[in-house]
Amino acid sequence: MSDPGFEALFQAATAARAHAHVPYSHFPVGAAIRTPDGRIHAGCNVENAAYPQSQCAEATAIGVMVAAGDRAIAEIVVIGGEAGDTLLCTPCGGCRQRIREFARGDTPVHVCGPEGLRLTTTLDALLPHSFGPENLQD
């Protein structure tokens, strides 16, 4: 993919992935979010000996985004796996819901391996018939 916007997201996710704390799974993941105004926020997975306390890369990136004052996801890249393994490292169910809090159904989700793009899909395809903030509006 030669889209400069995608390339910046891919590079940010790759850089974040390099800092993943994965002493148990040895499966580093990076994620990068682009907001509607073009800002990029990235994060990596952070494991904990008490497994439920671990944090996915997408959750870290969302936390960084919110801490920076942003509240909308225009596009997201997730990178995991080994070069050439052809497996998809899509956001887990919990992260799909976290992304949904800040993204629309047509938001692009780029699933990557270290070598580059493996799949582009939408949040609606990953989380059909989702429950979101508008379900709680008065």
Q: Which residues contact 39 (CB under 8 A, 6 or more apart)?
A: 68, 70
User: Is 71 within 8 Å of 101 (Cβ atoms)?
Assistant: no
Is 58 noted as a catalytic residue in this protein? Answer: yes
Q: State the catalytic residue, choosing from 58, 75, 82, 115.
A: 58
Q: Nearest 5°: phi and psi at 78?
A: -125, 130
**Paired tokens of 17:** 């992935």
In a 3-state reduction of DSSP, which class is residue 108?
strand
Q: In whole angstroms, what is the distance from residue 75 CA to residue 40 CA?
A: 10
**Paired tokens of 128:** 């059909």
Catalytic sites, residue numbers? 58
